């Protein structure tokens, strides 16, 4: 069984640039959730994708967008980067969409984004 993988591991961008982060879900999982984890904080939900459709969104501006592909891998795109976007971006896959009860999320190792 292949776990959740993310790429790249680290990334440095400057303000105003755009970034794309990638996530491969665990084998058999059709749902991917993205989280932002600022230094010293807990993860904060950005959005979830279930069968290629957005299926819930947290309190993030529209410049945070995503995609899910037919193989259930996913991308997180962030436009017009701001300094406060510096964080660890985590993706988590699960067997089905919806809430976490009886639907464990498996997290990837994250992508560390630094915005200068």
20 beta partners: 77
- Give contact residues for other proteins (rule: CB under 8 A): 4, 33, 40-45, 48, 56, 58, 90, 92, 98-101, 104-110
Task: For the beta carbon of residue 31, count every other beta carbon within 10 angstroms.
Answer: 22
Nearer to other proteins, 30 or 55 (CB): 55
Nearer to other proteins, 9 or 71 (CB): 9
Quote the least distance from Cβ 91 to other proteins, whole Å.
8
Quote the least distance from Cβ 75 to other proteins, whole Å.
17
Quote the least distance from Cβ 15 to other proteins, whole Å.
26
Quote the least distance from Cβ 14 to other proteins, whole Å.
25
Nearer to other proteins, 16 or 99 (CB): 99
Nearer to other proteins, 17 or 96 (CB): 96
Give CB contacts under 8 A, 24+ apart, made by 1-6.
1/26, 1/27, 1/28, 2/26, 2/27, 3/106, 3/108, 4/91, 4/92, 4/93, 4/106, 4/107, 4/108, 5/108, 5/109, 6/89, 6/90, 6/91, 6/108, 6/109, 6/110, 6/111
């Amino acid at each position: 069984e292949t776990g959740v993988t993310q790429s790249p591991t680290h990334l440095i961008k400057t303000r105003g640039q755009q970034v794309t982060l990638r996530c491969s879900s665990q084998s058999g999982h059709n749902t991917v959730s993205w989280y932002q984890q600022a230094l010293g904080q807990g993860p904060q939900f950005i959005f979830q994708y279930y069968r290629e459709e957005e299926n819930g969104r947290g309190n993030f501006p529209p410049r945070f967008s995503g995609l899910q592909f037919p193989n259930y891998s996913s991308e997180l795109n962030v436009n017009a980067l701001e300094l406060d976007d510096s964080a660890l971006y985590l993706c988590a896959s699960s067997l089905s969409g919806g809430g976490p009860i009886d639907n464990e999320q498996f997290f990837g190792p994250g992508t560390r984004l630094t915005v200068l």
